[in-house]
Structure 1
Amino acid sequence: MDLIKVLASLNYFPTNQIKHDVWYFSPLRNERTPSFKVCTKINRWYDHALGEGGDVINLIVRLKNITNGEALKFLKEQNLTNSFSFQKQSFMVRSQNPSFKIKKLIKIQNPALIGYLKSRKLDINEAHKYCEEIYYTFDGVKTFFGIAFRNDCDGFECRSKYFKGCLVNKNITSIFNESKTLCVFESFTDFLSYRTLKLTELKEDYVILNSTNQIKKCLPLLDNYNVIKGYMDADPSGKECSKIIKEHCNNEFQDCSNLYANYKDLNEYLMALGK
């Protein structure tokens, strides 16, 4: 099974490519410089900072903290029909260790980004509240832009029509409104979908995982709430997150995925409504 496709299905996307080597911010830890490599020639990965590497099974075992058998089952359940092409990403490669720099953060106004939000049926006003328009460079060669959603370590989830990934550090995003109800989302597009749908007028707190492998970082927060609502994706990793939260919270957890039954996630449900 192709490692690049597996990583893409888990929302990990490359920063650059040099011949057979495709580079990522490590999915196994937080880092500022991409040091996780996939060699497409032999379909193997290697994390230079950890000194670890292996095949697809080894990676899933490491990411999910599961057995080889469970990793095989997980991979079989994944839908990898949507192939990933690195050429779709807008990065120009100049060196093995690109120098990353944020040039500016402004209010979202670029027509391409507004068009992207509209294509996802997301309310522009809600996006303005929680997101920014980011401009950044790798190696100072070319400037790229996207929709930036800040996390708790001042890193950013970045989205555009051609890119989906993390800039700087990976972490959860917590938004506090002095509520005793917490809503947990897998991605910021699901969070914005929830805000767009206006499912409640009540004041709530929010945690956005930004990746299912960040689930353990939100667990300490859960003890502060009387009600925890989960809006996870309808896939194995999303269901596993719901299971982990439920085991931690017991009766306080409400699995709200029945709202978008038969859809992959809350944003797909929103798009189907055609709002």
Structure 2
Amino acid sequence: MTYKEANNISIKDYLNSLGIQPAKEKGSYGMYRSPLREDNTPSFKVDYNANLWCDYGTGEGGTLIDLVMKQHQCNAYGAICRLEQGDTASFSFHGKELPERETKRQAASPIEIHRIQPLQNPALIRYLQERGISPGTASPYVQEMYYRIGGKPYFALAFRNDSGGYELRNPRFKGSTSKDITHIRQQGEPRDTCFVFEGFLDFLSFLTIRQQKSPDIPCTDWQDYVILNSTANTDKALYPLADYGHIHCMLDNDEAGRKAVEAIRQEYKWRVRDVSHLYSGHNDLNDYLRSLKVKQSQDLTVTDKPQPEQDNRQNPGEKRKRGLRM
């Protein structure tokens, strides 16, 4: 059995051969109790279309070979040997069960990845700065990818999702190698609060705003994060959000954003808070961040004029103005 043949074995059928059944199935994926650890609440996701797994409890994931390697503490060759010794006749092979046009689409994927490396390209750093985002804040979460489409070379910011794919952004391109959510869990004690964003630029905008407003204590690790990477992925976010007592949605101020918030609220009721009013008048959080940058620039260009001395004391009955809190 070759490496490719082993990875083409359906993970779903492999788990079934071990007597592991999905606790919940929804369309293209299933949630299982992890075969790698004690798992009282199913948090092991199998994407049936991509034939990939992700253990939300440990943050690990990959192909079937990766799973067998983790189970038996062996290398890839040992994993293939174990799969050969199993009853492979009972396994279906990923790709054969897909519709013919879907198989052709995957075989003819337009993005050919050349390399992925840490963020350092001046053009991409400048793009982040133009969006108001601090490159230092972005670099732990974003890499740069060099790829080809139709034989032509390109490069873009690359933000990893839970299926091992990447969201890609540059000034002229918005796309992905595969679509899924990104769930970011903090280390240490489980958090009770999760912030939900539509895109990773909004997530990075939030971190930048927090760093600017409270550089000493930005509180960016007091909560977990879910980035949908598209409102079409809202259903995929529902299961991981079940663990949180407080869910704060910072989605776009448009119809798609409102529908996504409503879908999450229908599932989790009072636990959900829509906080898009914090940037009302703007399409999304990054739009709001860029408006702050423009305002700061305008303030710096105001010519200095002698101003009459003013009493800083608050007049009786005057309400103190409150700035936007985020």
Shared fold by TM > 0.5?
Answer: yes
Q: Secondary structure at the match of 1:49?
A: helix
SS in 1 for 2:163: coil
1:168-207 to structure 2, matched below 5 A, reads 169-177=178-186, 178-198=190-210, 201=219, 203-207=222-226
Match of 1:255 in 2: 274
Percent sequence identity is 38
Distance 1:97 1:143 in 2: 17
Structure 2 gaps of 5+ residues are 1-47, 52-99, 297-326
1:171 maps to amino acid: D
Q: How much does 1:108 deviate?
A: 1.1
Q: Distance in 2 between matches of 1:100 and 1:236?
A: 30
Residue identity opposite 2:183 in structure 1: S
Aligned counterpart for 2:229 among listed residues 210, 213, 228: 210
Alignment partners' CA distance in 1, 2:121 and 2:109: 26
Query: Following superposition, which runs of at least 4 residues in structure 1 exceed 2 angstroms of deviation?
Result: 29-32, 47-50, 96-101
Q: How does 1:23-34 map to 2 (within 5 A)?
A: none
Q: Which runs of 5+ in 1 are unaligned?
A: 1-28, 33-46, 51-95
Asked whether the 8 Å contact 1:30–1:170 carries over to 2, the reply is no
Q: What is the distance in 1 between the residues matched to 2:194 and 2:203?
A: 12
Q: CA deviation at 1:100?
A: 3.6
Q: Secondary structure of the residue that 1:116 maps to in structure 2?
A: helix
Could you tell me which amino acid in structure 1 is paired with residue 115 of structure 2? Answer: K
Number of matched residues? 187
Paired residues of 1:180 and 1:224 also in contact (CA < 8 A): yes
Q: 1 CA distance for matches of 2:119 and 2:202?
A: 18
Please state if 1:121 is matched with 2:132: yes
Query: Per-residue CA shift, 1:162-207, capped at 9, x if unaligned?
Result: 111112x210001001311100000000000011011751511000
Letter in 1 for 2:273: Q
Match of 1:273 among 274, 289, 292: 292
Alpha-carbon separation, structure 2, partners of 1:253 and 1:110: 39
The two structures have a TM-score, normalised by structure 2, of 0.54
Bigger Cα displacement from structure 2, 244-253 vs 230-239? 244-253
Q: Using structure 1 for the length normalisation, give the TM-score.
A: 0.63
Instruction: Tell me the secondary structure at the aligned position of residue 246 of structure 1.
Output: helix
SS class of match (1:171): coil
The 3 A distance-change label for structure 1 pair 222 and 31 is: closer
Q: Deviations over 1:82-106 (max 9, x none)?
A: xxxxxxxxxxxxxx94564211111
Aligned ranges for residues 93-132 of structure 1 at < 5 Å?
97=108, 100-132=111-143
**Aligned partner of residue 258 in structure 1, secondary structure:** helix
- The question of whether the paired residues in 2 share the 8 Å contact of 1:181 and 1:205 is answered with yes
Structure number with greater CO (CA < 8 Å, separation at least 6) is 1
Measure, in 2, the Cα distance between the counterparts of 1:142 and 1:181.
Answer: 43
1:154 aligned residue: 164
The residue matched to 2:140 in structure 1 has which SS? helix
Separation of aligned partners in 2, 1:155 and 1:136: 13
Give, in whole Å, the separation in 1 of the partners of 2:112 and 2:181.
Answer: 21
